[in-house]
Amino acid sequence: MLEPAVRPAGFALRCSRALLSPWSRLSLLVVLLAGAGALVVAYEPHRVLADGGWPPQVGGVGAVVLFGVAYGLCTAAFVPRPVLNLASGALFGTQAGLAAAVAGTVLGAGIAFMLGRALGRDALRPLLRGRWVEAADGQLTRHAFRSTLAIRLFPGVPFAAANYGAALSRMGYAPFLLGTGLGCVPNTAAYVVAGSEAASPTSPAFLLSAGFIVVSVTAGAVVAWRKRHRLRSSAAA
């Protein structure tokens, strides 16, 4: 008498296991990221923000908070951060613009890290092979805060790639978010100042911020090159 009732329950259990399997969750992540990328291409929210197309009925602190939320969602959808940083400075000035940009950076990094950890890690981590990959994973796991801080200070690694790559490691949320929040400040501030002073390209503030951007990008490339050789050496050892 109980057998007909047991079969549907067993079928439902198998279906739930299949839907929650690592590869099903990875497929969901791919669909979400592809959809987010398609929306960015179709609507170009970064251009709207950069051109000052901000809702006129929103102002003050509310506008800064709303922009920070929009910033985080846009970066999770692969919108370039430099464009958003320039827009933040142009819309809100240096201080409020920097606050909105840093908050949005941490929010976007947290969203990407959470998605990668929840939906992609279980399926992709067993595929990570090779000594170089293991050395990089060990570096991120043992020195989570320091590694994240270095990645954010030297912009040699794309923002989204760093977020989803860190999600595959064993580092925790707290060191990742703290390292992101502190490490993004210098470069973010340079872009925000450049955006706020864009109307005066010969002003000392604009020239200093532009020079800092050039120097930081160059330094980031050099550090990334040296770091790659160091990881190769540790992997060979």
- Could you tell me what percent of the chain has a pLDDT over 90? 25
**Mean pLDDT on 163-181:** 91
pLDDT at 55: 60
pLDDT at 1: 46
pTM, two decimal places: 0.78
pLDDT at 212: 80
pLDDT at 41 over 70: yes
pLDDT at 52: 53
pLDDT at 2: 46
**DSSP letter string, the chain:** --HHHHHHHHHHHHHHHHHTSHHHHHHHHHHHHHHHHHHHHHH-HHHHHHTT---TT--HHHHHHHHHHHHHHHHHTT--HHHHHHHHHHHHHHHHHHHHHHHHHHHHHHHHHHHIIIIIHHHHGGG--SHHHHHHHHHHHHTHHHHHHHHHHSTTS-HHHHHHHHHHSS--HHHHHHHHHHHTHHHHHHHHHHHHTTT-TTSHHHHHHHHHHHHHHHHHHHHHHHHHHHHHHHHH-
Confidence tier at 190 by pLDDT (50, 70, 90)? very high
